[in-house]
């Protein structure tokens, strides 16, 4: 369960993500710089599986995963996918790797891939078929919910329109991600339910010279983004 938004800027972008989880899940570990295949990337870690839901590497390639309901019985955590994709560059290589994977052990998901000076790409796996949209900016913002997927998306789209208006910038996206709408409930972008809530907030900023990852280990209405990791952009 997540809400994800982004906006492009010259040489990079801003990517914001609210992660919503049930209270029964363990607390995630904050973002760390990891190296794999000679490529550095930044990612937080899920305490239960060791996977992640958002990564960005030194080339400015980011991937963000949202759960999607499907009839598939999963034998592997979806968060492990990003560990195999995090060190890809460019984004087309990331999607080639995804297409080459055996996705049958994974439940349904939506995967966003961003890179500087290019349209977003959105891949959807429904448990049996993978579909990739190379014009993924039309899907922004992305939402997921196990509570009422259609109702949650409608409510959050309305809230997005209220905050973003005709001009979408990083400040508007932040207001959207911290918003409770009419009330802090299952439908608000900053989500609060009796059994679940927004448990973290991530803000990735990629510029021509660096990659910056800001992280809040709680809902953004309760805790400012206090953890930060920075890398120089690779050529």
Confidence band for 235, pLDDT divided at 50, 70 and 90 = confident
Mean pLDDT for the stretch of residues 61-78: 81
pLDDT tens-place string over residues 149-165: 899 999 999 999 999 87
- The residues spanned by each domain of the chain are 2-232
The CA distance from 223 to 173, in Å, is: 17
CATH number of 2-232: 3.60.60.10
Task: Output the pLDDT for position 72.
Answer: 61
Residue 49, pLDDT score? 79
Beta strands in the chain (DSSP E): 2-9, 12-22, 29-36, 39-45, 54-57, 62-67, 109-114, 121-125, 130-133, 142-144, 196-206, 210-216, 227-232
Beta pairing partners, 203: 16, 214
Averaged pLDDT score across all residues of the chain: 92
Q: Per residue in 211-234, pLDDT tens?
A: 999 999 999 998 887 899 999 999
Does 141 sit behind a cis peptide bond, omega within 30 degrees of 0 on the bond before it?
Answer: yes
State pTM to two decimals.
0.95
Write out pLDDT tens, residues 120-144: 999 999 989 999 999 999 999 999 9
């Amino acid at each position: 369960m997540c809400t994800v938004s982004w906006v492009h800027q010259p040489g990079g972008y801003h990517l914001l993500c609210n992660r919503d989880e049930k209270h029964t899940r363990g607390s995630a570990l904050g973002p760390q710089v990891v190296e794999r295949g000679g490529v550095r990337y930044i990612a937080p870690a899920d305490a239960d599986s060791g996977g992640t839901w958002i990564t960005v590497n030194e080339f400015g390639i980011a991937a963000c995963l949202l759960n999607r309901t499907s009839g598939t019985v999963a034998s592997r955590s979806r968060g492990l996918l990003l560990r195999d994709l995090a060190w890809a560059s460019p984004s087309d290589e990331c999607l080639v790797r995804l297409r080459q994977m055996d996705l049958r052990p994974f439940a349904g998901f939506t995967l966003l891939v961003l890179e500087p000076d290019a349209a977003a790409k959105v891949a959807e796996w429904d448990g049996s078929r993978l579909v990739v949209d190379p014009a993924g900016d039309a899907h922004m913002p992305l939402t997921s919910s196990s509570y009422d997927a259609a109702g949650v998306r409608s409510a959050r789209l309305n809230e997005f329109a209220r905050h973003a208006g005709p001009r979408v910038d990083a400040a508007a996206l932040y207001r959207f991600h911290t918003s409770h709408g009419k009330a802090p409930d299952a439908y608000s972008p900053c989500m609060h339910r009796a059994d679940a809530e927004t448990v973290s907030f991530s803000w990735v900023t990629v510029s021509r010279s660096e990659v910056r990852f800001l992280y809040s280990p709680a809902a953004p209405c309760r805790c400012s983004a206090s953890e930060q990791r920075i890398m120089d952009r690779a050529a």
